[in-house]
Amino acid sequence: MPRRRIQVRGVVQGVGFRPAVYRLAHAQGLSGCVWNHAEGVTIEVQGSAVAVSAFEQALQSGIPPPARVQALATQDMDEIPGETGFRILASGAGTEMRPVVPPDLAVCEACAAEMDTLGERRHRYPFTNCTRCGPRYTIIESLPYDRPQTAMKAFPLCPDCAREYRDPTDRRFHAQPVACPACGPRLTLRHADGSARAEGEAALQAASVALRAGAVLALKGLGGYQLLVDATSDEAVRRLRSRKRREDKPLAVMFPDLAHLLQACEASAEETVWLTSPEAPILLLRRSEAGAVVEAVAPGNPLLGAFLPYTPLHRLLLTDVDRPLVCTSGNLSDEPMAFEDEEALGRLGGLADLFLTHDRPILRPVDDSVLRVDGDGPTLLRRARGFAPLAVPLALKGPCVLALGAHQKNTIALLKGGELIMSQHLGDLTSPDGADLLARTVEDLLAFFGARPERLACDLHPDYASTSLAERLAAEWEIPLVRVQHHHAHGAACAAERGLKGPVLALAWDGTGLGIDGTLWGGEALRIEGSTFERVGHLRPFPLPGGEAAVREPRRSACGLLWATRGEAAPPPDLAAAFDGPDWALLQAMLAKGLHSPVTSSIGRLFDAVAALVGLQARRGFEGQAAMALEFAAGERAASPYPWEIKEGIADPTLLVEAVLSDLAAGREAAFVAARFHAALADLALAWARLGGLADVVLSGGCFQNALLTARVRARLSGAGFRVHRHHLFPPNDGSISLGQAAVALLEP
């Protein structure tokens, strides 16, 4: 009787793969065993030749997601006479097991169907899950991933759940978070003062009635508290905005189902696959005219962040309310999301009218992921739920490195044994809570993956909370600390993600990061090789009166750019409206004296300046808002580029500024200027690529969140024969800085 050993790699641990293998082997009447180990999963099967080959076929096609089989290698083995039954062996089976912390997964179809069926014991139960779906990373205390080491330890299994858990033919076989109304977590609806108002089904129904009446609901979701409000009510959305102190920044909208979503947005086949995937990220989709979602959700924005319910609780609530709901993380701007009950009541008490909570603790905050799909595939803009902390194989071998990332959109990265483990998006580190979250996440990841870093990496900036922590840890652990320049890290991140070994030219365009000369960089062309870089080109620096204040006030960038290119002058007509009273004179005086006016080569700030010059977004806003306004204004129109003067790699924007002003004086509209500006940046990219003289060009930095800019630059460069690479799996923004730092530190001799 033939016996075969099959080595399987891919997403095969912590996703119900072994039970699925058990069921396939059982169906074919095969004996044998399956076990997890450092390299993946190994299976041995024994039986008739027909059954073995049917099993092998089923392994390729019959494994349910989220498991994904990527590589199979098989070999013939000697028969084990008299073997009966198929067994799941303990993890490791003699070899060292590579730790796997599974990510959280959206509710599967089987669980959804069960919840919808009257008479099922999990009918309308908001914590239904199985081996294919449910909470993972957000409820795991420590490894191995077993119920006593999860937030479910306080919920002993009832006899019915215990039977499912032990039955290898059940889809809840070894599902650690398994629960039902008899034994699992329960809902409570609370008033803003914390007092209980309703429990269970009544809590759910009262919450949906309140949402329909325009209330702001704080919902204890999967990875933290969220704020929900009726997305079809202008008044309700404005109430949420004013309480959350978030004026214009787009809010994400959750739809009851795909049909509702498609009434409000357009989604391609690829986008639909993502929307309904186990990762279930927020997708940036084009809004359609007819949708009922009010403009105030994303003012002036042709895109909408849209997603589908990913927990049973969201699903029940959205179905009951039967209309799209704004679903945004529960925090004040720039603070981390609240995820502990007491803390949430305290912090969100003034924001929410009601709290829909439950008694399953959330062990770590995990935000929703954000993804965009364009011409050449997906771009993750925020990597969190569904993706973190899955290890990604990278062609980088060397010592174990821990990198602590940037200051905003922070993530941390652990490089170990040729794999990259990136934390979930941690966000802004400015608040004490943000810095605290960073320190806890470091402990968390190291413990989970049993890692002892041999090197640490951080940004050059001395004032980042991530830098201070890296300095402290390097001293404590007595290991070297590698300080990596911000844009070097951007370029190295993209090269590492795309597996590029040789030298690359990196176009690293973003807001700002500290350069090696002490000025603020952000419009850089860097030749990167190994752990070193050379600055091939950059924007000619211009001053930012008020420094950081310019991030939220694009008019300051415009004022500084005009000062650098034309000297002291009155504001041009389209900009004058943004300067009432003595503001213009004050900023000019600051510039003249060089007071608090750091210089920058940032293309992000150049975007801000041009947006302000054409009268878009001059006064205030969220970071990137002005650039987005220019992107959306430009649309798809073709336009001739503005001119540059480039000497020895330094791009002087004087001609560009003059041309913008003369277009405006000639009555040209913002859209026309915006299109010419994007074309000019594509020209600049090509000029720098030629100067770099390398075949491979990587695009990284926050500016490449702009889909139009990315498309224009790619087209221009590939048209001239360059191979252009951009981020797909990791964000182009500062979310990837930790990856770049880790790659540079690893390559350091």
Closest approach, Cβ 99 to Zn ion, in A, equals 24
Interface with Zn ion, residue 111, by CB under 5 A? yes
Name which of Fe ion, Zn ion, none residue 734 binds, using a CB cut-off of 5 to 8 Å depending on partner kind: Fe ion
Burial of 2 (0-12, 13-18, 19+ CB in 10 A): middle
Least distance (Å) from Fe ion to the CB of residue 701?
Answer: 5
Positive or negative: CA dihedral 280, 308, 373, 380: negative
- Using the minimum distance from each CB to Zn ion, give the nearer residue, 47 or 184: 184
Interaction between residue 459 and Fe ion (CB under 5 A):
no
Stretch of 126-134, 350-358, 642-650, 716-724 contacting Zn ion, by CB under 5 A: 126-134
228 binds, among Zn ion, Fe ion, none (CB under 5 to 8 A by kind): none
Output 358 or 488, the one with its CB closest to Fe ion.
488
Query: Residue 140 or residue 451: which is nearer to Zn ion going by CB?
Result: 140
Contacted entry of Zn ion, Fe ion, none for residue 240, CB cut-off 5 to 8 Å set by kind: none
R_g (Cα) of the chain, nearest Å: 27
CA end-to-end distance (rounded Å), the chain? 54
Stretch that binds Zn ion, among 104-112, 202-210, 406-414, 692-700 (CB under 5 A): 104-112
Question: Which of Fe ion, Zn ion, none does 133 bind, CB closer than 5 to 8 A by kind?
Answer: Zn ion
Output the smallest distance, CB 166 to Zn ion, in A. Answer: 13
* Segment contacting Zn ion by CB under 5 A, of 150-158, 473-481, 491-499, 728-736: 150-158
Q: Which parts of 718-737 interact with Fe ion (CB under 5 A)?
A: 734
545 or 702: whose CB is closer to Fe ion? 702
Give min distance, CB of 184 to Zn ion, in A: 6
Binding at 51: pick from Zn ion, Fe ion, none (beta carbon under 5-8 Å per type):
none
Binding mask 171-200 for Zn ion (x = CB under 5 A): ---------x-xx-----------------
- The minimum distance between CB 508 and Fe ion, in angstroms, equals 7
From the list Zn ion, Fe ion, none, partner contacted by residue 510 (C-beta under 5 to 8 A by kind): Fe ion
Q: Residue 735 has what DSSP assignment?
A: G
Smallest separation (angstroms) from Zn ion to the CB of 111? 3
* CB nearer to Fe ion: pick between 497 and 734: 734
The DSSP annotation for 624-667 comes to THHHHHHHHHHTT---PPPP-EEETTEEE-HHHHHHHHHHHHTT
Give the separation between CA 491 and CA 732, rounded to whole angstroms: 10
* Residue keyed to tokens 């003067």: 645
Closest CB to Fe ion among 184 and 523?
523
Amino acid (1-letter code) at residue 635: G
Rounded Cα–Cα distance for residues 211 and 111 (Å):
25
Nearest to 470 by CA among 522, 406, 526: 406
d(CA 604, CA 554): 10
Under the criterion CB under 5 A, does residue 428 sit at the interface with Fe ion? no
Helix axes 707-719, 670-692, angle to 10 degrees: 40
360 with 247: CB under 8 angstroms?
A: no
Please choose which of Zn ion, Fe ion, none residue 180 contacts, taking the beta carbon within 5 to 8 angstroms, the exact cut-off set by kind: Zn ion
Residue with Cβ nearer Zn ion (69 or 130): 130
3-state secondary structure 262-315: HHHEECCHHHHHHHCCCCCCEEEEEECCCCCCCHHHCCCCCEEEEECCCCHHHH
**Least Å from the CB of residue 734 to Fe ion:** 4
**Is 54 strand, coil or helix?**
helix
CB 525 within 8 A of CB 534: no
Calpha distance 224→336 (Å, rounded): 10
Q: Name beta bridge partners: 415.
A: 401, 420
Of 158-166, 304-312, 463-471, 653-661: span binding Zn ion (CB under 5 A): 158-166
Q: Is residue 28 within 8 Å of residue 62, measured between CB atoms?
A: no
List of residues 6+ apart from 382 with CB closer than 8 A? 282, 367, 368, 369, 370, 409, 425, 731, 735
Site for Fe ion in 492-521 (CB under 5 A): 510
Binding mask 51-90 toward Zn ion (x if CB under 5 A, else -) reads: ----------------------------------------
Residue type at 615?
A: G
Token look-up 């028969």 returns 79
Which of Zn ion, Fe ion, none interacts with 161 (beta carbon under 5 to 8 A by kind)? Zn ion
Name the one range near Zn ion by CB under 5 A: 124-132, 367-375, 387-395, 692-700. Answer: 124-132
Q: Output the six-digit token pair for 624.
A: 């990137």
* Residue with smaller CB distance to Fe ion, 335 or 510: 510
Q: Which of Zn ion, Fe ion, none does residue 183 bind to, with CB < 5 to 8 Å depending on kind?
A: Zn ion
Stretch that binds Zn ion, among 133-141, 289-297, 330-338, 458-466 (CB under 5 A): 133-141
Q: Are 22 and 59 in contact (CB under 8 A)?
A: no
103 alpha carbon, distance to own chain's centre: 13
Rule CB under 5 A: is residue 161 a binding residue for Zn ion?
yes
Chain residues in the site for Zn ion (CB under 5 A) = 108, 111, 130, 132-133, 158, 161, 180, 182-183
Chain residues in the site for Fe ion (CB under 5 A) = 510, 734
